[in-house]
């Protein structure tokens, strides 16, 4: 990767220097409600991800409490249960993982890493954040109004059509997807314009840090996938409210068409959630091994290939929806192909560590945890990609375990890796190392205890989205719920760490990780000043 | 695990003896199926005992793929442990700075590709096997409703009945909570049974883990699957696609019996089940009240 020269950052090191450039210190309202600064917007995104994560996390605690024993009554009815699982899925994806990785870290660090003063369209950036907030209000209305939205996050018709889900809650949830989609789409356009046009002189695409590559590929995925979701959701809203029958068999429509459209968006969506995570892990692994990333070009183009192939595998979510035998074979093979570029990434991370001088600081613990647990999630993914096996495993707890291993233990671990890696750059204060490690280990034990037994439940045949289950599934469900409580408790440690960071008086150096951290954000002061590059850095 | 199996088996046997007096009056031709119950058991860690050749093949391929995957996870895990021990800051003070090694980069593309080929070959033959629903001995239409199944025997005109879960407060000894139904599917052993799976309202999932069968029940279309059950016994399944408030309360129960018993059952069933002339076993507490909507359907 690139080495950086940045000889005169002292000129804008003083945080209040920006007053001289014609900006008075903005008021609270002006700074946070009308922000056009990529760092402030990034902070807003991360804050909203913390809020989204707490709401989604509380919902998952309710779910695990209900499933702790068979015949439990924590959740009073199937209606309430279905509303909770739907909101949990939607919130965790659209209002936790995506805002944290793309809106949060992406906004904060993409402009800094490419040496740009800000995003290409600052006001569009602000707009895309507030669309997300509106979306969150709508999805919460979808949870809380009337019976709530009870069709699962996959919102398959006919369950969510006007006949089977009367009431306005479902419309709120559907519309919240539109709002989140517009937010993502505008963000994606902004990232593409920024990365393609605003790189500092000398920073060619092949010198660009991997996190920027990850965000670039993610932005293209969003650009192509979100409109398809928007189309599908629009058709659903039309079916519900205006008497069309796109997905209505009695009017010549087809419920399976919705599944095709949904997963044409939904499968790229999983790469939208994991590619930025890949980017973060590359930086963390390289920094704490004190070695440049192994096989940089391979790493970058592996993400491009994953993104591309990710668009042509969607029907592996529909192996039992009655698609033809040949389709099943094609989608199985195409899906398995993704294992190869993913393998390149895993092995390249290990090769980056190989020969390094590894320091096990908190971000590195999360990164190593990510790599190992993502391999487990990837392995069960290869199992599920077999259409013949999916006939047995589809929609049971083996699947739940699989996608929580790649998301809850994958993407979320990368979010925390990024958080501990960059929080000093964002806040100017260090996190308490001891408590960071406590947070890691409690989460690691908790999530594994939660999700590993779910493989067994799935193999034994427990279907997903059940509030009550045959007594034979009681044992592993109890273990899983205990694990969830440990993970829940680890969140308290995280909030204590936040408290320690924001009450800390300690100041950090520009590059507090030392020799291993080579990207441009380490050449600016901590915290990064309001305007980062008033003199354009030159990359050699 | 054996012990739990034994207990279940014992309970079932006892229940069988207990209800024998009642059976004597109604002469339940499916009684023989109570001798072997293929139901999940507590702390189960693997697939159910294979109840069909299809499930045997799935079980085999699962072991095959999972062992390869376990090998990969162990290999990667081993590499990571080695790297962490050998190249931590204390053991290795000065980091190397290499960033390329063409040989290993080629190896870690070629070997995974070969492993995928090794997985794909048997996997594709399983897909073709699962898809082959030709020449069935008989065909049963399984129709999902909110929240019960309806079974229609195409070979026996008029044999069309609904199957409700036994609610928690009406369980008899020997019934399995959330799995036992009032009117199970009854099939002859050793014969190829084709399922025409569909729905009249929302999506449902026709999921029989011990037989390796699963398809969505989709309104407006018919999706097929099939099974052969070689052993007399009782097998269970569940709805596996979210279908509303009672999604967890529409299990599937299949009794496989000898051909003689099957023919005897068909006679009894024809007398009893003609066009749903019996009262459905309605769900009661703690399920919500929407179930009574179905009263209108059943005449």
Q: Which two tokens stand for residue A42?
A: 């990034």
Predicted local confidence at residue A537, as pLDDT: 85
Taking an 8 Å cut-off on Cβ atoms, the answer to whether A388 and B221 are in contact is: no
Q: Which of A314, A365, A357 is nearest to A338 (CA)?
A: A314
A150 interaction partners in chain B (CB closer than 8 Å): 242, 244-245
Which carries the bigger pLDDT value, residue A421 or residue B285? A421
Using pLDDT thresholds of 50, 70 and 90, give the confidence band for residue A461: very high
Predicted local confidence at residue A538, as pLDDT: 83
Examine the residue annotation and report whether A345 is marked as an active-site residue of this protein: yes
Q: Three-state secondary structure along A114-128? A: HCCCCCCCHHHHHHH
Domain locations in chain B as residue ranges: 53-91+101-131, 138-297
Taking an 8 Å cut-off on Cβ atoms, the answer to whether B88 and A329 are in contact is: no
Evaluate whether A172 touches A142 at the Cβ level (below 8 Å).
yes
A73 interaction partners in chain B (CB closer than 8 Å): 286
Which carries the bigger pLDDT value, residue B229 or residue B155? B229
Predicted local confidence at residue A539, as pLDDT: 80
B182 touches chain A (CB under 8 A): no
A354 interaction partners in chain B (CB closer than 8 Å): 83, 87, 96
**Residues A127-138 pLDDT 10s:** 999 999 999 999
- Range 315-334 of A in CB contact (< 8 A) with B: 320-322, 325, 328-329, 332-333
A470 touches chain B (CB under 8 A): yes
Q: In A68-209, where does DSSP find H-type helix?
A: 78-92, 98, 107-114, 122-144, 169-197
Q: Which of A210, A305, A386, A476 has the most B C-beta neighbours within 10 Å, making it the best mutation to test the interface with B?
A: A386
Predicted local confidence at residue B97, as pLDDT: 87
Instruction: Please tell me which residue of chain A has the smallest CA distance to B61.
Output: A389
Predicted local confidence at residue B159, as pLDDT: 87
Mean pLDDT confidence for A149-172: 93
Pairs across A and B, CB distance < 8 A: 291
Q: Provide the percentage of residues in chain A whose pLDDT is more than 70.
A: 96
Taking an 8 Å cut-off on Cβ atoms, the answer to whether A351 and B104 are in contact is: yes
Tell me what the pLDDT averaged over chain A comes to. Answer: 93
Q: Which two tokens stand for residue A127?
A: 């707009």
Mean pLDDT confidence for A452-464: 96
Using pLDDT thresholds of 50, 70 and 90, give the confidence band for residue A533: confident
Using pLDDT thresholds of 50, 70 and 90, give the confidence band for residue B293: very low
Q: Which two tokens stand for residue A258?
A: 């919705």
Phi, psi of A146 (to 5 degrees): 55, -130
**Residues A341-369 pLDDT 10s:** 999 999 999 999 999 999 999 999 999 99
Taking an 8 Å cut-off on Cβ atoms, the answer to whether A376 and B109 are in contact is: no
Predicted local confidence at residue B26, as pLDDT: 55
**Lowest-confidence region among A30-34, A191-195, A215-219:** A30-34
Q: Which of A40, A118, A160, A248 is catalytic?
A: A118
B72 interaction partners in chain A (CB closer than 8 Å): 375, 379
Flag whether pLDDT at A383 surpasses 90. Answer: yes
Q: How far is A296 from chain B (nearest CA, A)?
A: 8
Instruction: Considering only the beta carbons, identify the residue of A254, A256, A469 that sits closest to B178.
Output: A469
A250 touches chain B (CB under 8 A): yes
A499 touches chain B (CB under 8 A): no
Distances (CA, A) of A120 to A116, A203, B158: 9, 17, 70
Instruction: Considering only the beta carbons, identify the residue of A150, A353, A387 that sits closest to B83.
Output: A353
**Residues B146-178 pLDDT 10s:** 999 999 999 888 888 899 999 999 999 989 999
Distances (CA, A) of A226 to A178, A304, A385, B194: 9, 18, 24, 40
Instruction: Please tell me which residue of chain A has the smallest CA distance to B217.
Output: A321
Mean pLDDT confidence for B42-54: 96
B83 touches chain A (CB under 8 A): yes
**Residues B233-255 pLDDT 10s:** 999 999 999 999 999 999 999 99
Flag whether pLDDT at A217 surpasses 80. Answer: yes
- Range 383-422 of A in CB contact (< 8 A) with B: 383, 386-389, 391-392, 394-396
A158 touches chain B (CB under 8 A): yes
Predicted local confidence at residue B20, as pLDDT: 43
Q: Which of B213, B216, B239, B188 is nearest to B57 (CA)?
A: B213
Using pLDDT thresholds of 50, 70 and 90, give the confidence band for residue B81: very high
Please give the Cα distance from A505 to A206 (Å, whole number).
39
Distances (CA, A) of A38 to A105, A168, A447, A473, B184: 10, 36, 33, 49, 62
Q: Which of B240, B249, B250, B283 has the most A C-beta neighbours within 10 Å, making it the best mutation to test the interface with A?
A: B240
HSE (side-chain half, CA atoms, 13 Å) at B182 = 21
With b for 16 or more beta-carbon neighbours within 10 A and e for fewer, the A404-425 pattern comes to bbbbbbbbbbbbbbbbbbbbbb
Flag whether pLDDT at A227 surpasses 90. Answer: yes
SS3 A396: strand
Q: Which of B243, B185, B182, B249 is nearest to B213 (CA)?
A: B185
CATH 2.60.40.420 fits B138-297, yes or no: yes
A376 interaction partners in chain B (CB closer than 8 Å): 73
Q: Which of A396, A99, A304 is nearest to B207 (CA)?
A: A396
**Residues A513-528 pLDDT 10s:** 998 899 999 999 999 9
Flag whether pLDDT at A265 surpasses 90. Answer: yes
Flag whether pLDDT at A5 surpasses 80. Answer: no
Please give the Cα distance from B191 to B39 (Å, whole number).
21
A469 interaction partners in chain B (CB closer than 8 Å): 178, 248
SS3 A33: helix
Flag whether pLDDT at B35 surpasses 50. Answer: yes
* Residue position matching structure tokens 């009554």: A73
Q: Provide the percentage of residues in chain B whose pLDDT is more than 70.
A: 83
- Range 256-275 of B in CB contact (< 8 A) with A: none
Q: How far apart are the first and last CA of chain B?
A: 45
What ipTM does the predicted assembly reach?
A: 0.92
């Amino acid at each position: 990767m690139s080495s950086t020269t940045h000889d005169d950052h002292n000129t804008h090191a003083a945080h209040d220097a920006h007053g001289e450039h014609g900006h008075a210190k903005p008021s609270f309202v002006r700074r946070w409600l009308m922000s056009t600064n990529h760092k402030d917007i990034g902070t807003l995104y991360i804050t909203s991800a913390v809020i989204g994560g707490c709401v989604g996390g509380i919902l998952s605690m309710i779910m695990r409490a209900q499933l702790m024993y068979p015949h439990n009554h924590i959740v009073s009815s199937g209606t309430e249960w279905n509303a909770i699982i739907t909101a949990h899925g939607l919130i965790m994806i659209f209002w936790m993982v995506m805002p944290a990785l793309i809106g949060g870290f992406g906004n904060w660090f993409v402009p800094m890493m490419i040496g740009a003063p800000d995003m290409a369209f600052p006001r569009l950036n602000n707009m895309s954040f507030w669309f997300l907030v509106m979306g969150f209000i709508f999805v919460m209305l979808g949870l809380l109004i009337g019976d709530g939205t009870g069709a699962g996050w996959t919102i398959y018709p006919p369950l969510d059509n006007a006949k089977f889900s009367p009431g306005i809650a479902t419309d709120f949830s559907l519309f919240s997807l539109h709002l989140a989609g517009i937010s993502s789409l505008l963000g994606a356009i902004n990232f593409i314009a920024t990365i393609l046009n605003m790189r500092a002189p000398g920073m060619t695409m092949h010198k660009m840090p991997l996190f920027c590559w990850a965000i670039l590929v993610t932005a293209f995925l969003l650009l192509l996938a979100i409109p398809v979701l928007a189309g599908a959701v629009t058709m659903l809203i039309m079916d519900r409210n205006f008497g069309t029958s796109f997905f209505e068999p009695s009017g010549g429509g087809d419920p399976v068409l919705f599944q095709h459209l949904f997963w044409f968006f939904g499968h790229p969506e999983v790469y939208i959630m994991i590619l930025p995570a890949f980017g973060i892990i590359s930086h963390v692994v390289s920094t704490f091994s004190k070695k440049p990333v192994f096989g940089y070009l391979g790493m970058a183009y592996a993400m491009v290939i994953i993104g591309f192939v990710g668009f042509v595998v969607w029907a592996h979510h529909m192996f039992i929806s009655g698609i033809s035998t040949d389709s099943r074979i094609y989608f199985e093979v195409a899906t398995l192909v993704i294992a190869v570029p993913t393998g390149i990434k895993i092995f390249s991370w290990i090769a980056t560590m190989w020969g390094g001088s590894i320091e096990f600081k908190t971000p590195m613990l999360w990164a190593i945890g990510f790599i190992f647990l993502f391999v487990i999630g990837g392995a069960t993914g290869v199992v599920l990609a077999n259409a013949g096996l999916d006939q047995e495993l589809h929609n049971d707890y083996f699947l739940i375990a699989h996608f929580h291993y790649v998301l809850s233990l994958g993407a979320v671990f990368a979010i925390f890796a990024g958080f501990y890696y960059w929080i000093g750059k964002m806040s100017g204060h260090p996190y308490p190392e001891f408590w960071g490690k406590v947070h890691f280990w409690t989460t690691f034990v908790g999530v594994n205890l939660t999700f590993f037994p779910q493989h067994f439940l799935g193999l034994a045949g427990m279907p997903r989205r059940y509030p009550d289950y045959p007594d034979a599934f009681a044992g592993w469900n109890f273990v899983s719920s205990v694990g969830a409580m440990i993970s829940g408790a680890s969140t308290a440690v995280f909030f204590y760490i936040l408290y320690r960071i924001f009450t800390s008086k300690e100041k950090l150096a520009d590059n507090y990780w030392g020799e291993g951290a080579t990207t441009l954000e380490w050449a600016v002061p901590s915290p990064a000043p309001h305007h980062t590059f008033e003199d354009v850095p030159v990359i050699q | 695990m054996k012990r739990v199996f034994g207990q279940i088996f014992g309970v079932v046997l006892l229940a069988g003896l207990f209800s024998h007096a009642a059976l004597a009056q109604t002469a339940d031709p499916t009684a023989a199926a109570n001798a072997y119950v293929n139901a999940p058991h507590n702390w189960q860690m693997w697939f159910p005992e294979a109840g069909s050749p299809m499930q045997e093949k799935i079980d085999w391929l699962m072991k095959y793929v999972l062992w390869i995957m376990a090998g990969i996870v162990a290999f990667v895990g081993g590499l990571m442990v080695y790297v962490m021990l050998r190249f931590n800051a204390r053991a290795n003070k000065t980091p190397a700075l290499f960033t390329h090694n063409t040989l290993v980069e080629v190896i870690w593309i070629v070997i995974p590709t070969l492993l995928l080929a090794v997985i794909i070959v048997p996997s594709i033959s399983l897909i073709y096997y699962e898809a082959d629903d030709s020449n069935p001995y008989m065909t049963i239409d399984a129709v999902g409703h909110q929240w019960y199944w309806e079974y229609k025997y195409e070979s026996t005109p008029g044999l069309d009945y609904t199957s409700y879960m036994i609610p928690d407060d009406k369980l008899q000894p020997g019934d399995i909570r959330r799995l036992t139904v009032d009117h199970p599917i009854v099939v002859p052993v050793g014969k190829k049974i084709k399922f025409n799976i569909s729905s009249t309202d929302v999506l449902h999932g026709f999921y029989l883990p011990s037989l390796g069968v699963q398809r969505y029940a989709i309104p407006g279309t018919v999706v097929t699957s099939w099974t052969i059950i070689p052993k007399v016994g009782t097998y269970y399944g569940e709805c596996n696609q979210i279908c509303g408030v009672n999604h967890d309360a529409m299990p599937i129960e299949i009794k496989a019996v000898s051909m003689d018993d099957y023919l005897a059952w068909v006679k009894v069933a024809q007398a009893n089940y003609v066009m749903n002339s019996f009262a459905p076993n309605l769900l009661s507490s703690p399920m919500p009240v929407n179930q009574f909507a179905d009263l209108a359907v059943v005449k």
